[in-house]
Structure 1
């Protein structure tokens, strides 16, 4: 339900009357928001695998050209499609996974988040390449976002294969993705 923000809790005083407008503002809107908080799940389509060059430490921003859900309209699949832009301020749980195709068994793969195009957010992971299987590096953190802040998933690989493609399957059993979920107002 886009547009409903968490209400400021009412400070009840002796003699206050629980009117329908006050209860609707405090209980109905609050419960409606908590039952459907801001949520985004975007992923990379398997048909448009992104090629990630082997680098000496330079992270690449992941393209998310499809989405399962975006309750607040914070993501576009065409313009700045690597970003989720916060529409309602609060603390968010952010999770991401970057799945690299099993074309090289050397080196490592890494994932991290970037806030507003500049600050690395704590919660990254580095994985050694798997032998003969796709390798997934994950990142997960809680971060406070103001309205207009945006977060992006980035990845890095240093294999002998150059470039190395990100991969997903059509059933989304595994997919390069980012999930953003509101968890608290502060």
Structure 2
């Protein structure tokens, strides 16, 4: 957010400088994902979310933008071990898939983890979600054991 010569630095600008928006959301309970479908993942735990863009009680799949700007968003979908098919993660903005923001991984990877990252412009009120998908032949649960956890990382880069 450029400040014109002779302009005033407001409290809102100082707040962004001191505590730029960031969130790390984690899934700590399993979630069943149907075969051949993409399903938004729910996040019941927050490692950090100082701007309160996420709720653990309603719309738990969403991170809602509190400050407009450019953001780096990373999503991870981790699935229970299964040797069949592939696993995927993708990013949604306002309920729609973002072209180029998807990744597929083979089932032989560590607990079927797939991770995707993208840089997006967000307005206040826009929301982000991570979707997981799999095609093992039947429903498959997400995983949250050890390093295998479904997560969402949101980092404000600049206005």
TM-score normalised by L of structure 2: 0.90
Paired residue secondary structure (2:130): strand
Between the aligned partners of 1:50 and 1:137, the Cα distance in structure 2 is 16
Aligned to 1:44: 27
Name which of 141, 146, 150 aligns with 1:165. Answer: 141
Question: CA RMSD of the aligned region, Å?
Answer: 2.1
Q: Distance in 1 between matches of 2:84 and 2:152?
A: 25
User: Separation in 1 of the partners of 2:70 and 2:93?
Assistant: 13
Normalised by the length of structure 1, the TM-score is: 0.78
Aligned to 2:63: 84
Alignment partner for residue 89 of structure 2, among 88, 96, 111? 111
Gaps of 5+ in 2: none
Structure 1: how far apart are the matches of 2:93 and 2:15?
A: 29
Q: By how many angstroms is 1:33 displaced?
A: 2.4
8 Å CA contact retained: 1:41, 1:69: yes
| Structure with a larger share of its residues in strand | 2
Task: Kindly indicate whether structure 1 or structure 2 has the higher relative contact order, using CA contacts under 8 Å at least 6 residues apart.
Answer: 2
Greater Cα radius of gyration, structure 1 or 2: 1
Conserved 8 A contact 1:109-1:128: yes
Note if 1:98 corresponds to 2:77. yes
The answer to whether the 8 Å contact 1:113/1:122 transfers is no
SS of match in other structure, 1:167: coil
Deviation (angstroms), 1:31: 5.7
Corresponding residue of 2:5: 11
**What is the rounded CA distance, in whole Å, between the counterparts of 2:116 and 2:86 in structure 1?**
15
SS at match of 1:134: helix
